Structures are given as C-alpha cells and as structure tokens.
Amino acid sequence: MREAGWSRELTGTLVAAACAVGVLPMLVSTYTLTVLVIYGMLGLSLGLVWGFGGILCFGQAAFFGLGAYTYAIAAINIGESTVPMLLAVAIPAGFAALLGAMLFYGRLTDVYLGVITLVVTLILHRFMNATAGSDYVIGNARLGGFNGIPGFQTLNVPGHPASYVWGDSLYYFCAACLLLVYLLVSALLRSSFGRIAVGIRENETRAALMGYDVPARKTVMFTAGAAIAGLAGALFANWAEIVTPRLFSLGQSADIIIWCIVGGLGTRIGPVLGAAGLSYLKFLLGQQGLIHNSVVSGAILVLFVLFLPGGIAPVLANAWRSVTQRRPRRRSPRRRGPRSSLASGDA
Amino acid sequence: MSINRRHFLGGSAALTGAAVLGYPAAAADAIKLGSVLDSSGIFDAYGKPMDMAMRLAVADINNAGGLLGRPIEVVAYDTQSDMALYSQYAQQLTREDQVDVVHGGILSASREAIRQILRKSGTLYFYNVLYEGGVCDRNIFINGVTPAQQVEALVPYAMNKVGARTVYILAADYNYGQITAKWIQKYVGDNGGETVSVDFFPLDVSDFGSTIAKIQSTAPDLVIAPLVGGAHLSFFRQWAAAGMKARIPLASTTLGVGNEHKVLTADEGNGIMVAYNYSQELDTPKNAEFKRKWAAAYGDDTAIHEIAVSNYQGVLTWAAAVREAGSLERDSVVAALETGISVQGPGGTVTVDPRTHHAVLDVHLMEIENQGMTVIDTLPRRQPIDTQAVCDLEANPDDNQQYEIEI
Amino acid sequence: MDFILVIVVEVLYAIGALVLISAGLAVIFGMMRVINLAHGEFMMLGGYATITAVDLGVNVFLAMLVLAPAVVGVLGLVVERLVIRHLYGRLIDTMLATWGLSLLFVGIVTMVFGNTTTGISTPIPGFALGDYQVNGYNFFIVLVAAALLFLMLAVLRSTRSGLIARGTMQHADMAASLGYNPDRIYMLTFACGSALSGLAGAVLAPLVGLVPTSGGAYIAKAFITVIAGGPALIAGLASSAGVFGLINQIFSFAVSPVVGEVALLVAAVVLLRLLPRGITDRLFRESL
C-alpha cells in the first residue's frame, strides 16, 4: 500500500518538476531562475530541519556560507570542480554534526538552541569580515574579508576543467540537484527515521521514553539539513562567481526563516515555493523606486503570521484537491492537515 | 511563442520602470545606458546621489541633442546593497536589455561581482568610484582617485602642517583599508616619519573607547583614519567627545566621500585634513554651473558628493568617447578612450590614462570647516601611479585581474 | 596606573551599555515570553525621536530621558494592540511577526529620514583621568544603567502594580480570577518594555550615530544577555551584563575590538552549554 503511494508520488513529482523546469524559462530568464532554484534548495534545507525535525535553527545561513566558501577555497586550490563540490557538502555536514552533537547532547531546546545557532553564525560572519589581511590564506586562496573571494574555477564537466557548466546548463543542473534533493528528503521522511523524527518533533519526552535516542536522531537531522544547505551554497558560489561574508549574515538567516513560514512549515514544497517566490519578488521590487522593499517584505511577514500562519502550501494543496476531487469520495484521513507531511500534495 | 512572451515581459518591465521614474518612453533607436547602483539599503548614501548625478549627465546630453543624433535612455536597477543582485541585474542588462554601456557598482565587491559578466558579454563598463586601485582589464574604465593619488598628496601635507613624526593609522578592515594603510605607511616613511601602529576595524565596529585609550598610550603626533561607513563615523564623534581633538590632529582619506562631514557637527569635524577630487566648496565656474544644474533638477545641491561627481564625469567621458568614435561599437569606443580623452568636470580636468584605463585628475587638499570642505591647495594632474606600477594594457591588452600592488 | 583606571571606566561603560540594551527585552521576553525581534528597531526609533526633538530645539536630556521613552512606549502600545496580543503563547509566531515589524520599521524610517548616518553630539564634555582623556558620556551611561536597575527592582518588588504584573505573568488565570484584567496588564507591560528600549536607543544615540538599520547591531547582543541571564529578571540582567561586558573589554584592550566581540559571543556559547537555562537558573535563584 505504502509502496504504491510512493511510486505514485514519485511519478507526480517528476512530472510536475519536468513541467516546471521546462515552462519557467519561457517566463523568467534562466539566470534569475537558477538562483531561485538554489534558494529553493536552501529553503528546503531549513524546511526539513525545522518543519519536520522541530529544530529552529537561526543559523542555516552559516551552513550555506560555509558550503560556498568551502567550494571557492577548494576550487582555487584544486582547479577542478568535482572534489570541491563534494567537500562543500561534507564540510558543512561535518561542522553541523559537531555543533549538533554539542547542542543536543547538552539538551538545549527551543529558544536557547536558536540563540546558539545565531551566535555561531555571527561568529563566522565577524571572522570572515576580519580576514582582509594578507595573513589569511588557505593554500592559494586569500579569504579576502569583506570583499570576499572572486575568480575561482566554476563548475565543469567532471574530469574536464575547461568545459564549464554555465548559463542554461547550470540552470538545468541546479534544477536536477533540487529535484534529487527533494526526492531524497521525501524518501527520508517516508522511512522509519523520518516518521520517528516527526514523532520527536511532536513530543520529545514520549519519544525518549519509548527508547529512541533523541539527541542522536536530532543530530542526524540537523546534519542532513546542513549538507543540503552546503550544496546550495556551492551552487550559489558557481552562480554568483563570488562569495562574500554576507552569505553568513543575519539577514540571510532571516530570509530563510521567512521563506519557510510563508511557504508553509511542515511541508516539503512550501519552503521551496516560498524561497523562490519571495526572492523573485525582491528582484522585481529592485526595478521600481516608489516603495522601500523591506516595507513590503515586513508587511508580508506580519500579515502571514496573523492571518495565514500555516503558509501558502496548505492553501494551494487544498485548492488543488478541491479541483481534482470534485466529489469527496471519502473523508481525508489527514484532516488535521497543514502540519502533516503529506498535506502538501505532489506538486 | 516563447521568445515573444519573454520580450513582452522584458519590455513591459522596462516601460513600468520608465513610467515610475518619470522618464518619457524613449524612441526605438535610443542609446541604452545601463546603471546598477545601491539606491536603497545600507549603501544608499553613496548610491542615491550617484544615481541622481548619472541622470543629470544624461539629461544634459539629451537636452543638447543626444549622442550621434540619438537620445540616451537610462536602464537603471537598484541593487539594494545586496551583492547577489549585482550579478543578477548585470545579466539582465547584458542579455535582456542589451545596453550599450554600463555605469555602476559602488563597493569593490560589487565591481568584482559584475566585471567578468560584462567582459564576457563585451559590454563596456565604467566604474566611477574612489577605490583601492590595481584593476587591470581592457573592458573597464575607472575614474575615481586611487590611494596613491590621494595619499601621496595628503600625507606630506598633514605631516608638515602639524610637524608630525609619529603617525597612528586606523583603517577599515577590507581591501580598500588594507591597501590604503600600506600606502600611508610608505609615504609616512618617505617623509621621515614613523608609523607607530596600524589598527584595522571591520565595517560594523562602532565602539572605539578602547582604541582611543590605546592611541593615547602611544601618544602619536598625528592620526590618519581611512575609516569607512556609518558605524565608523562614531570614531570621529567619540574622539571629539573624549576631548582629543585639541590634543592630536586627524587626517582621513575617506571622511566626506559620502558627505559624512555634514553629519558630524562643526565641532566634531573642524580641522580634519582630507584630499579628494571634488569638494562642494571648490570655487570654479564648472562647479558653480554643475551645482546650479543640480539644484534646478533636484531642489537643492546638498546631496552632491565625491563619487556622485565621479559618476557624472564618467558619463561625460563615455559620451565624449562615443562622439569621438562616431559609433557605439565597444572596440571603437575603447580605442577613442585610449587616445587619452579629456573632459572638464566639476572636479577639474579628467583624462583617461590609456595604459591603465584609470584617470589622471586633480587632487585638492582640503580641511573640514563648518561642515564644508575648504580647499587649501590643488595638485593638478595626478597620475594613478599605483596601478601604473603593475598594469600596462598597451603591452598586455588581454590582462584581466586585480593586482595587489607590492609596496 | 592611569591606564588601568581607563580600563576600569571602559569596563563599567560596557556593562552599563549592555544593561541598557537588554533591559527592554528582559521585560518583554523575560516576563512575557514574547520574542521581540523588533527590539533593536524600538531602540533605533528612540534614537530618531531624540534627534528629531533636539533638532526642534528640545533640551537634549529631556528628549533622551522623557520624550523618547514616551514616544516608543506609545508605539509599543499600538503594536501590542494590533499584532502581539493575538500571538501570546505562540513563541515562534511572536518572533516572526516582530521580525516583520522590524523590517517594516526599517523601511518606513528609511523612507522618512533617508539612509544617511545622523546623530547629535554628546552633551557632556570629555575630561582628564591622569594623562588620559576619557569620554565623559561613559559615566552618564553607567549612571543611567544603574538607576534603571534600581528603578526596575523597586517597581517590581515594592509597588502594587509591579506585584500584580509579576503575578499575572506567572498565572494569568489566577490574576483574572482575583479581579485583575490580564489583557490590560500585558498591554501595559509591553508598553513599559518598549519604553525601556526607546530609552536605551536614545541614550546611546549620541555615542554611535544612527541609521535605520542600527537596530540590527543590538538585537543579537540583547538576546544573548537576556537569555544567558536566565529566569531572574534583574539579577540575571546584571550578572550576564557584568560577565559579558568584562570579557568584551578585556579582549578589546588586549587584542582589538573585533576580538572583544568574538570573545563575547564565544563566552555566550560556553556559558549556555554549561548553564543551559542561564546564570540565575543555578546562582542567585531566589532573587528577582
């Protein structure tokens, strides 16, 4: 039964993704789309950690930035992009595993956890900002402080450093990565690990009393989120062709949290849509001079929290359901809706 | 279908932009001038006046009949002080809008974010900002003063004026500050002085209490402070509040670039020594005319600052080169610029240096006085000697990097 | 010897500044469990209120100590009525809504005042401490911070309204059944917290200058101080500000202000790892 559901969802996701990837370039330039896809992946990483793991991480930007910097530094030293890409996933993941173990075995929860992740991000930001001097070198790579690191080898076909993947191909590559990550996240959430993680989110004490090793499971969840954010960071570095300490900034962390809440927490597609939609809005707002764009984003956030705290995805899913299922043949068993992992539909 | 739709969307976006900004929809054969500046966000004190200056220059040219008989249309994007948006809009300018030239970028990070995009697409690029020097790329022209141009003039003047032998340097901790600090050290040594200490501060440091105490414990004769941005402005406040102004004189290579001296009170700012290409108090007919035009366009002329004038002069330089070349094609415009073209701007004569694509310009020694910058002396036609030491585009036209100049 | 005195002054100043920065948040978050991410913007607005008033010819001390807290307090009242009161008990939602408010305030202030740094000069002259010149305003900040702590202690411990407020925060239902109106008490407490933030912003404005985004510099520090302080409002505030101020200044003098900041942050991580519920969870448990 569950197997059938999985294969149907898989087909649905693939078809929907193929349509989206094919159609969107007709509306928006692929260059802009690429970064929307990357932000979507970053949104998904926090959507997983926060929405399903119940871990409010104020510092998802730290892993994003770490991924980008790792890629840039490794690419300058190695000169070929395959190993740097792998490192850009591994190093943020390793860092998150250490940090997560420290936090979760220390039984830090909710606000305290948020503050520590925030502080770690601030430390990284301060440090990166203070590395303009010529002493801060890793191999051949100058860290560059506030100005960041430009001019590193960008993504190439593995083994062929001269054949760059850029422009439209970079877009399709990023979209494929996002799809892959999305499917992996779906599979993870369907596994017993994922279901227990949601159980821990709902009631940590009960999960612990049932004999599950809560700190270890939370650490793994946290690490998975960091790995995804690291991958997004590496792709971002390839897209922007420059990395700067701004990637670690509080503003960047804030954006990610806003994406998740607007998109819909506890859904998989919500953070992706929230990230892409809001970033595109920001891009559009830069083309006009009438109203300050932070007024718009601030107002959106307040209004969402007050009037639509579940985010957009559940609303879309309901609309989709009411279109596709005119006659409700049976009451949905998942009436409690927005928090459930399947409520987001297959979009 | 797809192409039509994309063009439709791009076109409507441009139209909306034009309507919002109050510019008449341009004729089909208009020359397109692209601009990317931080008109909002934390750098808008720099970006907004730059944008105003660019539009003023374009309006001047259009009122005089345009360029090659065609009007200039501005395609401007606000990068919101976000480095990621720079590359996005640069792509937009080159691919969708297909502009003929791009003027813009403020921080060095923003310039490096778009320089390669513009080079790859063959779009001529003007970076009109005071910066740390060393960029060597045939596709870019830079007309801001570089550290050597400024420091070479400022350091001997300040040291002689106060009879200083020991100097304490406080610099912003990024590319510009690091490189400028090295140049200051060199010229302090050349003028028989000694640098007692160099301290660097990231751009968000705003509490200088411990630093002020430390400076007093070394008791230097002069403090030179290439500090940048709003947070660093508090140094000058706290320095005055501690009563240090009467004890140790100050010089700066950055204070006033974004009109910071108008934010400080007269008591806090008076007597600080600076050196730039432009001052509102510059008493020349060109400057008087410029200020009059600015006031006519925007109501009053208080917003004008150093890099706004650089941006104005950058647009004039480009226009002069297009007239000279008789074409908009990049290589002929570059060739025209490389003849060493000159324009008369509000800051004096600006000449393109063909070897480095930087500018030969006048540097004015000034002192801050009652929230203005009083010109003490003018050093005409200063060469960009720092960049000239590493960059020769006549010998290596394919060079494409930013050199760190060994001093 | 003089140099050591200077260091002592700077340490006291750093502690005083931390107390000021965190006091408003300690009330709003510590007492009401509302994560107010617009705290920094309340401070920024206090600063702008002061500067505007001084430009209009109001005495600077009147503007800082009375006008700015009043303006921001009223604003806090409006914010509480419109947004916060719908969100009590929803910790994360208060955080997100106030984040939105903070963006909104930054945007509006930018549209009104522009993005250029503004400021007023410090109203107290510098003076000599042995061979050294010291910023006289530092003493004013220490004084205001100390007065603030005593005032908060006096109000919460010795006045009827302080007692009612504390009771309501602990047990709103009980307070309601005793005939008090929790809704009104929450509203007033939030307004008081906002007024404290406004005061802090006003008092610090002459020292550091102001841009619409100034608030961002304070919010992280304020949160770290309040959370590391733990459950006891005033003892927590004083003790964590003491620890962090001391560490910050020692490293600032020994190395540089940046290292001082980083040392503060590292100290916060270590402290929270060792005392996950804050300093006053273990020490000074019975105090306020």
The reply to whether residue A35 touches residue B84, judged by beta carbons under 8 angstroms, is yes
Other CB atoms within 10 Å distance of the CB of residue C170: 10
Domain chopping of chain B, boundaries: 2-145+282-361+385-402, 147-276
Q: Is a pLDDT exceeding 50 seen at residue B256?
A: yes
Counting as contact any 3 or more CB pairs under 8 A, the partners of C are A, B
The reply to whether residue B40 touches residue C260, judged by beta carbons under 8 angstroms, is no
B240 touches chain C (CB under 8 A): yes
Give the pLDDT band of residue B24 (cuts 50, 70, 90).
very low
Average pLDDT over residues B160-165: 92
Dig out the tokens for B304 from the structure.
Answer: 């004008």
Other CB atoms within 10 Å distance of the CB of residue A243: 29
C150 touches chain B (CB under 8 A): no
- What 8-state DSSP symbol labels residue C136? T
Separation of alpha carbons B291 and B286, rounded Å = 9
- Helical H segments across chain C, by residue range: 2-25, 39-55, 60-62, 68-82, 91-113, 137-158, 160-170, 172-177, 182-208, 216-229, 233-254, 257-274
- Assess contact for B100 and B328: CB atoms under 8 A: yes
Which range (A144-158, A314-328, B247-261) has the least confidence? A314-328
pLDDT digit string (tens) for A157-179? 998 888 888 788 999 999 999 99
Separation of alpha carbons B232 and B42, rounded Å = 13
CA distance B259 to chain C (A): 9
Candidate ranges A44-53, A308-317, B197-206; pick with highest mean pLDDT: A44-53
Q: Is a pLDDT exceeding 90 seen at residue A313?
A: no
pLDDT digit string (tens) for B36-61? 998 877 787 889 899 999 999 999 99
Separation of alpha carbons A5 and B21, rounded Å = 53
Q: Is a pLDDT exceeding 90 seen at residue B175?
A: no
pTM summary value: 0.84
Is residue C241 left, alpha or beta, with left meaning phi > 0 and alpha meaning psi from -120 to 50? alpha
Residues 6 or more apart whose CB falls under 8 angstroms from that of A73 comprise A138, A139, A141, A143, A149, A152
- Assess contact for B58 and B74: CB atoms under 8 A: yes
- DSSP string over A279-305: HHHHHHHTT--SS-HHHHHHHHHHHHH
The reply to whether residue C258 touches residue A115, judged by beta carbons under 8 angstroms, is no
Other CB atoms within 10 Å distance of the CB of residue C26: 24
Q: Write the CA distances from C197 to C46, C151, C187, integer angstroms.
A: 7, 15, 16
Separation of alpha carbons A296 and A304, rounded Å = 12
Greater confidence, C251 or B5?
C251
Max Cα-Cα span within chain C:
64
pLDDT digit string (tens) for B259-290? 888 888 888 899 999 999 999 999 999 999 99
Length of chain A: 347
Q: Which of C105, C258, C272 sits opposite A126 (nearest CB)?
A: C258
Q: Write the CA distances from B282 to A69, B148, B276, B278, integer angstroms.
A: 45, 22, 11, 7
pLDDT digit string (tens) for C168-199? 888 888 888 888 888 899 999 999 999 999 99
A308 touches chain C (CB under 8 A): no
Residue B100: CA count within 13 A, CB half-sphere:
22
Greater confidence, C81 or A343?
C81
Greater confidence, B68 or A146?
B68
Q: Is a pLDDT exceeding 80 seen at residue B407?
A: no
Q: Is a pLDDT exceeding 70 seen at residue B7?
A: no
Specify the DSSP element, H or E, that contains B350.
Answer: strand B348-353
The reply to whether residue A299 touches residue C104, judged by beta carbons under 8 angstroms, is yes
Dig out the tokens for B87 from the structure.
Answer: 């590359």
Q: Specify the CATH class of B2-145+282-361+385-402 in words.
A: alpha beta
Q: Is a pLDDT exceeding 70 seen at residue A2?
A: no
The CA-based angle C207-C211-C217, given to 5 degrees, is: 70
Give the residue from A34, A36, A242 with the most B CB atoms within 10 Å of its CB, the best one to mutate.
Answer: A242
Dig out the tokens for A264 from the structure.
Answer: 């819909």
Dig out the tokens for C47 from the structure.
Answer: 């600063």
Dig out the tokens for B403 from the structure.
Answer: 């050199």
Strands B222-224 and B166-172: parallel
Written as one letter, the residue type at C206 is P
Q: Is a pLDDT exceeding 60 seen at residue B12?
A: no
The CA-based angle C62-C68-C74, given to 5 degrees, is: 130
Q: What is the pLDDT of residue B286?
A: 94
Superfamily of domain B147-276 in the CATH hierarchy? Response regulator (3.40.50.2300)
Q: What is the pLDDT of residue A144?
A: 84
A53 SS3 class: coil
How far is residue C256 CA from its own chain's centroid?
25
Separation of alpha carbons C264 and C14, rounded Å = 11
Dig out the tokens for A4 from the structure.
Answer: 């059938």
Lookup result for tokens 């003063």: B145
The reply to whether residue A305 touches residue C106, judged by beta carbons under 8 angstroms, is no
Written as one letter, the residue type at A144 is G
The reply to whether residue B202 touches residue C252, judged by beta carbons under 8 angstroms, is no
Candidate ranges A83-97, A277-291, C160-174; pick with highest mean pLDDT: A83-97
Q: What is the pLDDT of residue A289?
A: 60
Q: Which of C13, C257, C261 sits opposite B211 (nearest CB)?
A: C257
Greater confidence, B400 or B230?
B400
CA distance A243 to chain B (A): 9
Residue from C108, C137, C119 nearest C54 by CA: C119
Q: Which chain C residue shows the shortest CA-CA distance from B238?
A: C207
Q: Which of A106, A111, A301 sits opposite C273 (nearest CB)?
A: A106
Dig out the tokens for B221 from the structure.
Answer: 């004769």
Domain chopping of chain C, boundaries: 17-212
Burial level of C220, CB count in 10 A (0-12/13-18/19+)? buried
Length of chain C: 288
Q: B201-218 burial string, b = 16+ CB within 10 Å, else e?
A: bbbbbbbbbbbbbbbbee
pLDDT mean across residues, chain A: 86
Q: What is the pLDDT of residue A234?
A: 97
Q: What is the pLDDT of residue B106?
A: 92
Average pLDDT over residues B384-402: 91
Greater confidence, A131 or B17?
A131
Separation of alpha carbons B109 and A146, rounded Å = 8
Q: Write the CA distances from A266 to A190, A312, A341, B111, B247, integer angstroms.
A: 14, 11, 6, 40, 62
- Assess contact for B308 and B49: CB atoms under 8 A: yes
pLDDT digit string (tens) for A6-26? 888 888 888 888 888 888 888
Give strand ranges (E) for chain A: 137-138, 141-142, 149-150, 156-157, 160-164, 242-243
Average pLDDT over residues B304-317: 95
Q: What is the pLDDT of residue A326?
A: 59
- Assess contact for B101 and B336: CB atoms under 8 A: no
Q: What is the pLDDT of residue A251?
A: 78
Q: What is the pLDDT of residue A327?
A: 53
Q: What is the pLDDT of residue A347?
A: 33
The reply to whether residue C96 touches residue A258, judged by beta carbons under 8 angstroms, is yes
pLDDT digit string (tens) for C220-235? 889 889 989 988 889 9
Q: Is a pLDDT exceeding 80 seen at residue A3?
A: no
pLDDT digit string (tens) for B96-109? 899 999 999 998 88
Are domains B2-145+282-361+385-402 and B147-276 of this chain identical in fold? yes
pLDDT digit string (tens) for A182-240? 999 999 999 999 999 999 999 989 999 999 999 999 999 999 999 999 999 999 999 98
Q: Is a pLDDT exceeding 60 seen at residue B16?
A: no
Q: Is a pLDDT exceeding 90 seen at residue C202?
A: yes
